[in-house]
Amino acid sequence: MTLEQAREYVLARLGISSGESDALETQVNRQLDLEYQRLVLVHLLNVDAANLIETANDPVVELPDDLTAILKITRGSTVMRPVGFDEFASLVAAGPGTSGPYAYAVSGSQRIRLHPTPTADSSELMCWFAAAASPWDQDGEVPRELPAAFHDIPCERVVAWLALLDEAIDLAAAATARADELESMLRRHMGRRGGMDGSVIQIAGLR
């Protein structure tokens, strides 16, 4: 489903003709993209990996710009352990060390601190992460991270939102129920295909 088709779907459900209001169509486009971004974030639909750059004598490492959640970080064959700042401070106080325990703490939304501190420049760190989706903002584009069977979800969420604004309670309830049903199916689909439902993740910036 393209953005144009999704917008027409929403307007038709609301009983509004396409082209009737440019301002409304712009608003629908914006809400469709926001709902798409939410689905990608909540259900980890876009997983990527990147090498992180270590700098000698600097524990701070920058994360990818599109990262929304860290899934796993490895240093060579070792999986690094996420820790809170109390435990991280204890590790640092115990001494720099030259080997494990390999640990990291989230520091802000786009960086982490490593223990032990790197002793040389390196790109050995590998970060697997949930990434934000590209904006769904052009008429001919499809929400490519969302399986086609679930393209109705953002549409129904936007229908429900606009219906509530217009106090069309029955329509809002019906749209919400359909979106909830489809999103539940999406969650089961992601679990069956080996999604991240059982993984422990570290949300950037929420430590």
Residue 93, pLDDT > 80, answer yes
Residue 80 is given by DSSP the state P
- Identify whether residues 83 and 121 lie together within a single domain: yes
Determine the structural domain holding residue 64 and report its residue range: 47-131
Alpha carbons within 13 angstroms on the beta-carbon side of residue 68 total 17
For 206, counting Cβ atoms within 10 Å of its Cβ (0-12 exposed, 13-18 middle, 19+ buried), the class is: exposed
Answer yes or no: do 66 and 116 share one domain: yes
Flag whether pLDDT at 198 surpasses 60: no
- How many domains, the chain? 2
pLDDT confidence band for 96 (50 / 70 / 90) = low
> Above 80 in pLDDT, residue 95?
no
Helix, strand or coil for residue 104?
Answer: strand
Whether residue 19 has pLDDT greater than 90: no
Please say which residue of 131, 161, 180 terminates a domain. Answer: 131
Q: Report whether pLDDT(205) > 60.
A: no
- Please indicate, yes or no, whether residues 179 and 190 belong to a single structural domain of this protein: yes
pLDDT at 2 over 50: yes
pLDDT digits 0-9 by tens, 126-152: 999 999 999 999 999 999 999 999 999
- Tell me the Cα Rg of the chain: 22
Q: Are 39 and 45 in contact (CB under 8 A)?
A: yes
Q: Which residues of 1-32 are buried (b: 16+ CB within 10 A; e: fewer)?
A: bebeebbbbbbebbebeeeeeeeebeebbebb
**Within a domain: 202:** no
Are 53 and 81 members of one domain? yes
Mean pLDDT of the chain: 89
At residue 9 the predicted structure's pLDDT band, cuts being 50, 70 and 90, is: very high
Sheet with 81-82, edge to edge strand ranges: 60-62, 111-115, 103-106, 81-82
Secondary structure (3-state) at 41: helix
178 and 103 assigned to the same domain: no
Four-point Cα dihedral 153, 154, 158, 159, nearest 10: -30
User: Are both 66 and 108 inside the same structural domain?
Assistant: yes
**Per-residue pLDDT averaged across 156-165, rounded?**
96
**199 in any annotated domain:** no
User: 82-120 burial string, b = 16+ CB within 10 Å, else e?
Assistant: bbeeeebeebbeeeeeeeeebbbbbbeeebbbbbbbbee
Residue 204 lies inside a defined structural domain of this protein: no
Query: Is residue 13 domain-shared with residue 51, that is, in the same domain?
Result: no
Answer yes or no: do 20 and 39 share one domain: yes
* Domain finish residue from 78, 106, 131: 131
The predicted pLDDT at position 167 comes to 93
Lowest mean pLDDT among 25-39, 78-92, 149-163: 78-92
| pTM of the predicted model as reported, rounded to 2 decimal places | 0.80
* Of residues 22 and 64, more confidently modeled: 64
Q: Residue 115: inside a domain, yes or no? A: yes
pLDDT grade for 193, boundaries at 50, 70 and 90: low
Q: 63 and 161 share a domain?
A: no
What CA–CA distance (Å, rounded) separates 134 from 151? 16
Residue 157, domain member (yes or no): yes
| Percent of the chain scoring above 70 in pLDDT | 88
171 with 106, same domain?
no
* Peptide bond preceding 118 in cis form (omega within 30 of 0): no
Q: Are residues 117 and 65 in the same domain?
A: yes
Domain final residue pick, 131, 150, 170: 131
* CA pair distance 72, 52, nearest whole angstrom: 12
Token digits of residue 39 = 């689905």
Same domain, 37 and 51: no
